[in-house]
Amino acid sequence: MEMPVLPAGVALRALGPSFGAEVVGLDLRRPVAAPVAAWLRDTLQRHHFLCVRGEVIDEERQLEVSACFGPLETFPEQRKTRARATFYNVANVAPEGGTMAPDDPRLVAQKLNELWHTDSSYRFVPSRCSLLHAIEALPGEAEGGETEFSDMFLAYEALPDATRRRIKALHMVHDYGFDQRLFPALPPLDPAVREAFPPASHPLVRVHPDRGGRRSLFMTANTGAEVSGLGLEEGRALHAELVRHVSQPGFCLRHRWRAGDLMVWDNRCLLHRGRPYDATRFRRVARRTTVAGDGPVAGPR
Ligand code: OGA
Ligand code: MN
């Protein structure tokens, strides 16, 4: 196979110590030619997080760029999306305009994004990668609001041997219904959504198909900490220990959005979380598309 080459006029700059790259000079307002799509796929595979800096693009263009990475998921609940179910509205502004009130269920549910997670891990086949396009970024004086990523290859490899042995055969429960468990004031989950998305369990250690079997930690903090095979208390203690572990700055990259950024990340080997910001003072608007995974999570043998 031919090696994808850096497109003319495009520059790539490493961002973090172990993953992440910034792409400048790629104009996503124009159609993405096949060799550029191949280069984007290859670059994501090597860097796991890309930030393409550019101008704000419309939904059609975002769909086209997203499709370079594979077929898209549709979001389970319409109230969390924009007009089309392929766009998760990551914003404190309603799609129809107007800032959301602090108790707006659509804003409350986004609090969950402030806990380490990997997108759509509540599915039996979790997502491959996500694309988050920043439409309105926070002004310079606003604190917080960055999106932070943590490298699950490094996190796994830095675990004590005994912990690696202990978690090898364990699964964690990932549950779409966690919004309501954490925030009981939210309206109940639609029974049809509950039925379509029952809690799923995935191996705590996964093997990355593109990485020659390299192992990584696969977990989430935005669920109820149940670990199959462990008692509830023991599961919670392990969960808390892993959450502390993945938060270490040495694994992490903190990205402050600029309007026009297109952030792409590999959900199979990174966790991410949004950092809190003052949603009553500042507007923060992005839309996310999510590329489907191609099979259940493979654990080590
Ligand atoms: C997401 C997400 C975090 C943020 O869009 O999937 O988790 O910073 N966002 O808003
Ligand atoms: Mn997310």
pLDDT in tens, the chain (301 residues): 567 999 999 999 999 889 999 999 999 999 999 999 999 999 999 999 999 999 999 999 999 999 999 999 999 998 899 989 999 999 999 988 899 999 999 999 999 999 999 999 999 999 999 999 999 999 999 999 999 999 999 999 999 999 999 999 999 999 999 989 899 999 999 999 999 999 999 999 999 877 778 999 999 999 888 999 899 999 999 999 999 999 999 999 999 999 999 999 999 999 999 999 999 999 999 999 999 999 999 999 7
pLDDT score for 297: 95
pLDDT one-digit tens code per residue, 36-61: 999 999 999 999 999 999 999 999 99
Q: How many CB atoms lie within 10 A of CB 240?
A: 12
Does residue 121 have its Cβ closer than 6 Å to ligand 1? no
Distance between CA 136 and CA 138 in Å, rounded? 7
Distance of CA 119 from the midpoint of ligand 1 (Å): 9
Q: Ligand 1: which atom is nearest the Cα of residue 117?
A: 7
pLDDT score for 16: 86
Distance between CA 108 and CA 169 in Å, rounded? 34
pLDDT one-digit tens code per residue, 83-125: 899 999 999 999 888 999 999 999 999 999 999 999 999 999 9
CATH number of 11-291: 3.60.130.10
For the entire predicted model, the pTM comes to 0.97
Does residue 123 have its Cβ closer than 6 Å to ligand 1? no
Report domain extents, the chain: 11-291
Supply φ then ψ for residue 174, to 5 degrees: -115, 125
pLDDT score for 198: 96
Helical residues (DSSP H) of the chain, grouped into ranges: 34-47, 59-67, 105-108, 152-157, 161-167, 178-182, 191-196, 232-246
Handedness of CA 295, 297, 300, 301 (dihedral sign): negative
pLDDT score for 115: 97
Distance between CA 172 and CA 202 in Å, rounded? 6
Which chain residues have CB less than 5 Å from ligand 2, an ion?
A: 119
Nearest CA to ligand 1 atom 6: 119
Sequence-ordered list of residues with C-beta below 8 angstroms from that of 114, at least 6 positions apart, any chain: 273, 274, 275, 276
Which ligand sits closest to the CA of 110?
1
Does residue 147 have its Cβ closer than 6 Å to ligand 1? yes
Which ligand sits closest to the CA of 122?
2
Nearest to 69 by CA among 128, 154, 7: 128
Does residue 255 have its Cβ closer than 6 Å to ligand 1? no
Sheet holding 200-203, edge to edge: 200-203, 171-174, 227-228
Neighbouring-strand partners of residue 24: 11
Nearest CA to ligand 1 atom 8: 274
Handedness of CA 32, 33, 36, 40 (dihedral sign): positive
40 burial via Cβ count (<10 Å: 0-12, 13-18, 19+): buried
Q: Which of 62, 87, 272, 290 for mutating ligand 1's site (highest number of atoms within 8 Å of CB)?
A: 272
Distance between CA 92 and CA 98 in Å, rounded? 9
DSSP 72: B
Nearest CA to ligand 1 atom 4: 274
Specify the amino acid at residue 286.
A
Q: Are 205 and 299 in contact (CB under 8 A)?
A: yes
Three-state DSSP state, 111: helix
Please count the CA atoms within 13 angstroms of the CA of 288 that sit on its side-chain side: 22
Q: Which two tokens stand for residue 135?
A: 């439409």
Distance between CA 280 and CA 204 in Å, rounded? 37
Q: Which two tokens stand for residue 129?
A: 């990668």
